[in-house]
Structure 1
């Protein structure tokens, strides 16, 4: 790929720009204003410094990657790219407008991708050439999480999926292809299935938030990075898991909305760590240390992944 354009310079957008810049692809990062773009560049610089500190990049390679990222406030600058990845806020009307403009600006065969959790078919109502639109769902922080969920729409050309996956692999990402569109793709469906049950347990008074999080972190959560849920059931004995599921499934939460206690917290403006109050009282916890510990663990996994690929 000769050039990539990323639309949106938030937490996902600047991470995607960094991914491809580290893979020696020139990137144009397009945002709304010069101030936010300058902040995005500094975040990329800081992240690259972490890669150097963890011996995943040399200082020279980090500087070269930073220099491959060009900033712009003009959507028309995406015309030079072979692929454009939309990474703006989750505002569907805004995404529709962006894809309409990109469809007019970018000549085929430029690929138009979205990094959000929206299926491609939700984004093309103003797009004429729908065969080149595809979903590429990155996970935060994208420069550290290897997986990208790739999901073609009903009108996406099969060759587009193959080409996009090849570009992702060349950038040291792990594309996983969905066979058909489903809301939330795979990861968010699994993540929110767990969250629904965790919230239900807490809201019902069955256990404290601390107990629920400790169980996940210190029991099956440790295995999940090695064996996925279906692998785990096979390893443990499919007949055993089938029997236990028949007993437990009827007891699991199936409500179609978050518990009232969660909704009440959000009505009160309790956003969690961002403003210090959520289910937890973050004034009594070190949120910065928790995030740093998570970041260090993600770097540890990434170093292992890259070492395995190098063999």
Structure 2
């Protein structure tokens, strides 16, 4: 099968092969010229990037930029990019990944920028951390993971990479773990983009709040808003007060309610014990009240009979 791409041989674009197909090709081109430095594949409906997808014959290519957006890629197998040892930029954005191997990015020691925006379905999101933990990504400078419904940062430790930019915009992050905050304090060069995430502005956000207030590592800090609780919705996280995310205050409030409950229970127990210990006296007291009420009612009844019977009234006179 011959390559069905347009070879751009202008001096300024020499080395670029554009395979943006309108025919919905389903395969990776098999005859990529060895002089290719930039390869663009788009709209080819590629379901799987298999092992050595770009170098099936074992030939090493000089590709430095590989752009694969909008190809409907659903799976990336182990060593899919083997043979692309000089690759600097890899863009897999806007695909439909359901499966990604932990060794998907093995063999890319020179990779500097990895774009994975809006690429992962829920089934693949859980596999992402293993795929990004490979040793060959240690030289990565820019990682974009926007729009993937991530609930946590899928990097085991931020400080094992040489990241300069980490884009986590428009995900489902409700908090940033303390371990990640500690790594960010150590990695002063990294810039993290976190807007359009539904942060829960409670005690769990304390470490992140103080990092955001005291650091310039988050360029979009002003656009990081609280999603919950309702009373803080829409408020920028950096505009909160310290007591809003103070774990001590929250714990003290919880403890105070517990103590109030305990005290109330003790008062109730004491009251019941007093009633029990004085049950005879209370019974006697109740009997006396009942007798007094009965005597009083008899007096009222007698007077009523006198008032209602004229004969008794005349006798009384």
User: TM-score scaled by structure 1?
Assistant: 0.27
Q: Which has the higher helix share?
A: 1
Which one has a bigger Cα radius of gyration?
Answer: 2
User: TM-score scaled by structure 2?
Assistant: 0.27
